């Protein structure tokens, strides 16, 4: 309601602003529903991470590259 009254919704915002100001309200509205859970963000699947890191060895044995992840969300 505050964002609407201050005309903040007509301005251009980054994704993080929407997560904090808009989706926070949605979380509060649906918080009391049993069995419902809100999850935000993006992550790579466990199978993608396992496939991309199949050839890694322990750092104590040999030098190794950083663990590879899939695409990550843009939260600038």
Given this model, what pLDDT does residue 75 score? 54
Half-sphere CA count of 44, side-chain side, radius 13 A? 14
Residue 15: is it exposed, middle or buried by C-beta count within 10 angstroms (0-12/13-18/19+)?
A: exposed
For residue 46, CA distances in Å to 23, 27, 53, 73 come to 26, 26, 11, 16
Block mean pLDDT (10 aa), the chain, length 76: 69 82 81 79 71 72 65 56
Position 46 scores a pLDDT of: 73
Residue pLDDT, tens place only, 30-49:
888 888 877 766 666 777 77
Domain ranges in the chain are 1-54
């Amino acid at each position: 309601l505050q964002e609407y009254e201050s005309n903040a919704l007509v301005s251009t915002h980054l994704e993080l602003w929407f997560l904090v100001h808009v989706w926070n309200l949605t979380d509060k509205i649906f918080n009391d529903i049993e069995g419902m859970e809100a999850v935000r963000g993006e992550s790579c699947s466990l199978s993608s991470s396992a496939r991309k890191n199949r050839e890694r060895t322990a750092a104590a044995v040999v030098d190794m590259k950083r663990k590879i992840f899939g695409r990550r969300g843009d939260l600038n």
